[in-house]
Amino acid sequence: MSVNDFSSIEVINASAGTGKTYTLTARVYEEIENGLAPEQLMVTTFTNKAAAELRERIRLRLLMAGKSSAAQRIYDGLIGTVNGVCARLLIENALDAGLSPSLNILPEEDADQLFRVAV
């Protein structure tokens, strides 16, 4: 899959307890079965707890299917919160973008001022 191949982007939008993690686990497993390398994954969710649970469920499903190599490589994919995945991408690609890999989170008290300047 190339960076420009968006054919497998899927948005799952549902309330708590409706099976999002189950559905995502099944979809990711299916993609890996169809040849997607675990390190090519990008799956985002909104909480660290949900991201950790999703990563573990995918890893366990791969282990149960005898795919130990893919299960180990699941940690090389981007599975995390939206903020966490974006931060990792910024850090990993900072030098290519001409930026410092030292990522600083904007202090909350500066956010309003920066927003006003941007607007």
The answer, yes or no, to whether residue 33 has pLDDT greater than 60, is yes
Structure-token pair, residue 4: 């420009």
Global pTM reads 0.73
The average pLDDT across 66-85 equals 94
User: What pLDDT, on the 0 to 100 scale, is given for residue 109?
Assistant: 82
Q: Which residue type occupies 92?
A: E
What's phi and psi for 42, nearest 5 deg? -140, 105
Q: Which residues pair with 80 in a beta bridge?
A: 44
Stronger pLDDT, 43 or 109, i.e. the higher one: 43
Residue 2 has pLDDT above 50, yes or no: no
pLDDT at 65 over 60: yes
How far from 11 is each of 8, 24, 43, 95, CA to CA, in Å?
A: 10, 10, 10, 30
Q: For residue range 87-107, what is the model confidence (pLDDT) as tens digits?
A: 899 888 999 988 888 877 778
